[in-house]
Amino acid sequence: MQDTKCEASANNAKLCFLVLTCIAEDQYANSLMHDANLAFRVTLHRLPMRHRRAPPPDRAASPCQPLACALLDLLVEFIMSHMLKRLPMELLLWCLGVGHRLLCYQKRSRVRLAGYQWGKLWAAVIALLQFLNANESHLARKMNIFQLALQVVNIFNLFITYGDTFLPSPASYDELYYELIRCHEVFENVYSMALRYSTIDGEFKESALKLANSLVNVRAIINHFSPKIDAWLASQGLSTPTEDQILEVVRSNYDSLTLKLQDSLDQYERYSEKPRHSAFFTAMVRNVVNDTRQNIDFASLDLQKILQECSSIS
C-alpha cells in the first residue's frame, strides 16, 4: 500500500482500502479485531523518511495487541507517508473513512483499546491538516481538499463529543484537549482558509463552508482554554509551561466550557459496489486478464490437460 505512484499500484492500494472498509463496517469482524483476548504481533513496513529512521524489521519489537490497534497504526503510517505534492486524495479519504468506521464501532459498543497511543493518530491527522494548508495554493486548484480536511475535523469532533465512551481513560481525554490547544495555529489557519473560500464563488464554496462550520467546537475549546492558560502563566510568572501544567489548567476549567452538539458524527455511507465501484472492478479484472495473457507462455502448456482439469471442477 505504500507505493501509489503508478496507476496499477494506486489501484492495488484502493482495493486494499475497499476490503478494509468492508471489514470495518462488519460487526462480527469488529468484535474480533477489538477483542483484548485475541492479541497479535503485527510488523508494519515503515518507509524511511527524512524526519525519522526506519526501524529494524524486528518482529519481537512489535507489541502484542488487538488487530484494531495494528489497523490504526497502518492508517497512521499511510497518512504520514503520503503527504505528497501529487496528493492521493481518494486513497486518503478511504484511509480516513476506515478509521472513522472503527471509531464509530468503538463509540456504539463502548469498546476501549487499553494501552493504545491515540496521540499517534491525532498527530498524523493534524500533520495532514498542516500539509493541506501549507500547499493550499497548489492543491486547491486540482482537488477538493476541503472534503479531506472535513473528514479529519469530523474525526476530532467524534473524539470531542463521544471520546469519554471509548478513550481508555480520562487522562486520554485531557491529552486530546492538550493537542488541540498546542496545535491551535493549525486549526486557525485551516479555518481561515475555509472561510476565505466559502465567501467567494467557486467550485468548492459549499465544501469550504461545511469545513468552517465543522470547526465550531475545536475553536471553542481553543478560545476557551487559551486565555485561561495565559492568565495562569501570568499569575505564576512563567513563559514556557510544561505539559503537566497545561493539563492541570485544562482539568480545572472543563466546567465552564460550552460545546455545540453536532449530529450524525457517527454516521457514514455504507459501502456498495454498484454503481459507484463497478467500473473500477471491471477495469481491475481486465488488467488481471491482460497481465496473465502477457506473462503465460502458452506454447509450453499442455492445454488438453488444463481443459480436463477445468472440466473436473465442480
Residue type, 268: Y
- Residues facing residue 64 across a β-bridge: 41
DSSP H helices, the chain, are 7-25, 27-33, 67-80, 89-109, 118-134, 136-139, 145-166, 170-182, 184-198, 205-214, 216-236, 243-251, 278-295, 303-311
Return the pLDDT at 291.
82
Whether 153 contacts 218, CB under 8 Å: yes
Helix or strand run (H / E) with residue 41: strand 39-41
pLDDT (tens digit per residue) in 254-294? 999 999 988 889 999 998 888 888 888 888 888 888 888 88
Q: Which residues of 18-52 are buried (b: 16+ CB within 10 A; e: fewer)?
A: bebbebbbeeeebeebbeeeeeeebeeebeeeeee
Whether 91 contacts 17, CB under 8 Å: yes
Instruction: Considering only residues 291 and 39, tell me which one the structure prediction assigns the higher pLDDT.
Output: 39
pLDDT (tens digit per residue) in 156-191? 999 999 999 999 999 999 999 999 999 999 999 999
pLDDT bucket at 54, cuts 50 / 70 / 90: low
Return the pLDDT at 57.
57
The residues spanned by each domain of the chain are: 7-45+59-264
Residue type, 116: Y
Instruction: Considering only residues 48 and 247, tell me which one the structure prediction assigns the higher pLDDT.
Output: 247
Residue written as cell 506454447?
299
CA dist., res. 299 & res. 210, Å (int): 60
The DSSP code for 184 is H
pLDDT (tens digit per residue) in 147-164? 999 999 999 999 999 999
